[in-house]
Structure 1
Amino acid sequence: MTRLSTCEIEKGLKISIVEGTFATLYTTLAGGMFLAGLALHLGANSFQIALLSAIPALVSGFSFLAGYLVRWVGARKPLVLWTAGTGRSVYVLIVLTLLLRFRLRIELFLVIVGVSAVLMAIAGTVWTSWISDLVPEERRGRFFGVRNAILNVSGVLVAFGAGRGMDYLKARGYETTGYLLAFTLAVLFGMVSTLLLRRQPEPEPKLLPAPAFREILFGPLQEPQFRRLTIFLAIWFLTGTLASPFYLVHLLKNLRFSFTEVAIYSMIGGVIGVLFQLFWGRAIDRFGSRPVTVLNFALVGIMPFLWLFATPRFRLPIWIDGVLNGVVWTGASLGLWNLLLDLADNPARKESYFAIYSVVTGLGAFIASLVAGTVAQLISSFHLKILGIDFYNYDVMFLAAGIARFACLPLLLKVREPGSKPVRHTIRELTNLALWRLNAGKDVLLQALGIRNQD
């Protein structure tokens, strides 16, 4: 591929951060609590909520088109511009129905979300190939750590502000207007993100002859480490995401959180995530992607159990979960992303790696969402009270997801990454670092209080 100059690479990395910020603003306002909230506003039931959550996973199979489309177009940039631009603009249809006060049927709403998801699945796969060639390998951990930190800050700030605005409008009977404003801004931010992508340089891809369809589907799975990672991801997303469609709905419906409180919950994870993006990025560069990924996926298993003990009056478990979102989900996501980039090192299979990753995780999450949605709907009247704590149908999903996450860990341990440090060594070094910083902080505090340390 054509090598870019150092100046071009630095320009591209800066543009990527700014572009990613606007993309995050789009995702925040056109997804998450606003997408789930609009679905509830339109009268969606538990199965339809699960289906809404599963749509991105359902259409992940379209990622396999990415490799063919790149070869047909001859470059990645124009393909990303068209698919991402169109995929984000589709939400204009939702804006128009809300603006003109048409009755938006939940079925049409799901179709619009589905069309957008198809285009964004292709855009995401091609963009991943593009950015993996743009970012120098030795800087990946730090770059994505800084980039994700900035994106987190922008996301939580707009979520908090929009959440406050939504609560204000909802309290005055203007909930529909709130969703209209949110999705209008989302479309505008998406357009800005697409325009910025036009300025981001692209290393010219090495376009090899189109491989056989069998090679696209199964070629990367012939590589032992990528195959092991794929098996882990397939089973983890099939079982560990059983509760994923219901977290936001449970907050809004059963725990009676306002949009502002949901935004604060997200903000806690986002703000803490800013610090830990940088921390885990440096840890990845020092110890490798595998140990950071294993450590954080182990801690992620704790999180669904916290939701079992939350009530409208006892919300501490939710706030603890928000903190862990910032600490361990940040490390798990960043570690997995870098581990994927490390293992996807065959240029001839570049798009195939990311397509398989998208399809496997997407299909697993889709099946999990359908199963969870069906079960949750079947036991929608489930209500159990133990020691003053109310348990609902969603709590069954939280319990199942937590158990499944721990059961999947041995599969992740089988993945090997060349040059990475052992997991135990990484945990020991990080523990020593944490203890050293705590001790240093204690000494500073004692000095500030005028107390002499006797140690």
Structure 2
Amino acid sequence: MLGGQFLTGYLMYLGASPSQIGLVLAIPTLANVLQIPFASFSHKLHRKWGFVTLASLHRICWSATGLIPFLFPKEQWIAVYLPLYAVAFVANATSAMMWTSLVGDMVLPQVRARYMGFRNMVLNALGSLTLFAGGQILDRYPGGQGYHILFAIIGVLAVLNIIMFTTYPNLPLEQSTQQGLKSMLTQPLKDRSFMKASLFLSLWLLLQGIVVPLYSYIMLNYLGLSQGKVSAMTILQTLAMVVSFYVWGQWNTRFSNKTLLFWTLPVITASCLSWGLLSLLPTIPVLVLVHLLIGFGIGGFNQLVFNFTIGDTPKSERPMFIAVYSALTGIAGFIGPIVGGWIFERLEGSPYWMQAYGVALGTGITLLALTVTLARKALR
């Protein structure tokens, strides 16, 4: 209820421009850059309680954005939202690194692929119900009232979420063999296979970020869909992700992380290219295809990247490997939505097809070229 199309819709309610929406969508990935200095410092922290503290700060700050319309005049809403959201996702980026390291130790390697697939499947199945409920609330109570109801629910669940974090096991962290930030940083930088894959995936995420995070914006602003219909599309995407977690998890028991990562790329590309079918077919069937493809592709991509960063990296140096990957992809992920928001802002007054599907189609063609040229070499 805080992310996806709900985030886009809430920002539009607060009066954000396309560029400001792109900036907000990009902040979480840029915050990942802070994982590099934090990775060397994290070895000195109590891993469990460091994670609990930072994850709690993320939940509290993001939930608190729902109070903005009550506490500030309308002209200040976006100005207040941006720093509060930024603090939330700086805390999230640093806590995510500790969570990844902790879960990597909690789950045995021989069952990790299937476990993460099952975990993500259950998580997103429940998420589909949440998306449906949130969409129904916003359709029944349009405008500010609907978001006030959502944030009231979110506030309660954020507290319960924090309480659950305290039940995590307190596993010891295997200390790095290196001393100091510089020597720790050299370990992933000297790993050619890791760096080649990470740099390519960063380029991919930059290009993908131009349009994929803005799917909801296109549907709400240019195609004129209601929040309920956008929620339905997001539910389809989530259901496709549920299936993908199981399928990619099963395939992951037979094929390597990088091999399967390569095969997620054509699926994501096909989703972007499918927007071009709006010139030939009715809107809803095309959007169903778009979201089924992106759900199956992104679900596999995210799961395999997680397995790649915790399964293909040395355990003692894992926090820094995770940090380097997150920093590289974070910079790329920051640039993509910013460029996308800038492009859509410049397209105001342009032909309808350019706004509705031109950017997505162009991005898909670019991703296709990248898939058939650099992808196989980078992920071999």
Name the TM-score, length of structure 2 as normaliser. 0.92
- Among 266, 282, 299, the alignment partner of 2:234 is 266
Distance 1:217 1:397, change over 3 A: farther
Of residues 268-277 and 308-317 in structure 1, the stretch that sits farther from structure 2 once superposed is 308-317
Superposed displacement of residue 264, structure 1: 1.1
Counterpart secondary structure, 2:168 = coil
- Which of 341, 345, 352 is matched with 2:310 structurally? 341
From 356, 376, 380, the equivalent of 1:413 is: 376
Aligned residues: 377
Note the alpha carbon deviations across 1:86-140, whole angstroms, 9 max, x for none.
Answer: 1110135323333457535212111111111111010111111111111111111
Q: Find the aligned partners of 1:208 and 1:275 in 2 and give their Cα distance.
A: 37
User: Conserved in 1, the CA contact under 8 Å of 2:40 and 2:184?
Assistant: no
Q: Give the equivalent residue in structure 2 for 1:87.
A: 58
CA distance in 1, matches of 2:219, 2:89: 25
Q: 1:225, 1:343 within 8 Å by CA — same for their partners in 2?
A: no
CA contact (8 A) 2:40 2:180 kept: no
Distance 2:278 2:254 in 1: 38
Give secondary structure in 1 for the equivalent of 2:187: helix
Query: Within 1, Cα distance between the matches of 2:214 and 2:244?
Result: 26
8 A Cα contact 2:210 2:336, kept in partner? yes
CA apart distance, 1:337: 2.1
- Is 1:78 equivalent to 2:49 in the alignment? yes
Match of 1:329 among 290, 298, 303: 298
* 1:203 matched to 2:174: no
Answer yes or no: is 1:67 the counterpart of 2:39.
yes
Give the 5 Å matches for 1:32-111.
32-73=4-45, 75-99=46-70, 102-103=73-74, 104-111=76-83
Residue 287 of structure 2: aligned partner: 318
Sequence identity of aligned pairs in percent?
A: 23
Shift of 1:165: 0.9
Asked if 1 retains the 8 angstrom alpha-carbon contact of 2:277 and 2:286, the reply is yes
Indicate yes or no: 2:134 matched with 1:162.
yes
Cα distance in 2, alignment partners of residues 309 and 77 from structure 1: 48
Matched residues in 1 for 2:29 and 2:335: separation? 9
* Residue 341 to residue 207, structure 1, CA distance change in 2 (3 Å): closer
Contact in 1 for aligned 2:40/2:320 (Cα 8 Å): no
1:209 Cα shift? 6.6
Q: 1:296 aligns with which of 264, 278, 288?
A: 264
Match of 2:253 in 1: 285
1:232 alignment partner in structure 2: 200
Measure the CA separation in 1 of the matches of 2:56 and 2:294: 30
Q: 2:221 aligns with which of 242, 253, 270?
A: 253
Task: Write out aligned runs for 1:13-32 (5 A).
Answer: 29-32=1-4
Aligned partners of 2:282 and 2:269: how far apart in 1? Answer: 25
Q: What is the alpha-carbon distance in structure 2 between the residues aligned to residue 415 and residue 399 of structure 1? A: 24
What is the distance in 1 between the residues matched to 2:336 and 2:139? 32
- TM-score with structure 1 setting the length: 0.78
Kept in 1, the 8 Å contact 2:278–2:357? The answer is: no
Unaligned 5+ runs, structure 1: 1-28, 384-389, 418-455
Work out whether residues 60 and 358 of structure 1, in 8 Å CA contact, stay in contact via their aligned partners in 2.
yes
The CA RMSD measured in Å over matched residues stands at 2.1
Of residues 142, 149, 170 in structure 1, which corresponds to 2:114?
142
Provide Cα deviations, 1:45-64, integer angstroms capped at 9, x if missing partner.
11111111111122221112
Cα 1:260–1:122, aligned 2, differ >3 Å: closer, same or farther?
A: same
CA distance in 1, matches of 2:210, 2:73: 34
**Secondary structure of 1:285's match?**
coil
Structure 2: tracts of 5 or more residues without a match? none
Give the 5 Å matches for 1:441-452: none
Q: What amino acid sits opposite 1:324 in the alignment?
A: L
TM-superposed CA distance for 1:351, in Å, is 0.9
Contact 1:293–1:331 (8 Å) recurs in 2:
yes
2:145 aligns to what? Answer: 177
Which structure would you say has the larger RCO, counting Cα contacts within 8 Å and 6 or more residues apart?
2
Query: Which one has a larger percent helix, Structure 1 or Structure 2?
Result: 2
Query: Is 1:160–1:263's contact at 8 Å kept on the other side of the alignment?
Result: yes
Secondary structure of the equivalent of 2:44? Answer: helix
The alpha-carbon deviation at position 203 of structure 1 amounts to: 2.2
Larger radius of gyration: 1
Distance in 2 (alpha carbons) for counterparts of 1:382 and 1:416 = 39
Gap change, CA 1:372 and 1:95, over 3 Å in 2:
closer
Q: Deviations over 1:322-380 (max 9, x none)?
A: 22234333222222322222222x23321111111111111001112222222322232
* 1:113 has 2:76 as partner: no
Contact 2:261/2:379 (8 A) holds in 1? no
Distance of 1:134 and 1:84 partners within structure 2: 18
**Whole-Å Cα distance in 1 between the matches of residues 299 and 68 of structure 2?**
36
Mark the CA change 1:406 to 1:216 in structure 2 (over 3 Å): closer, same or farther: farther
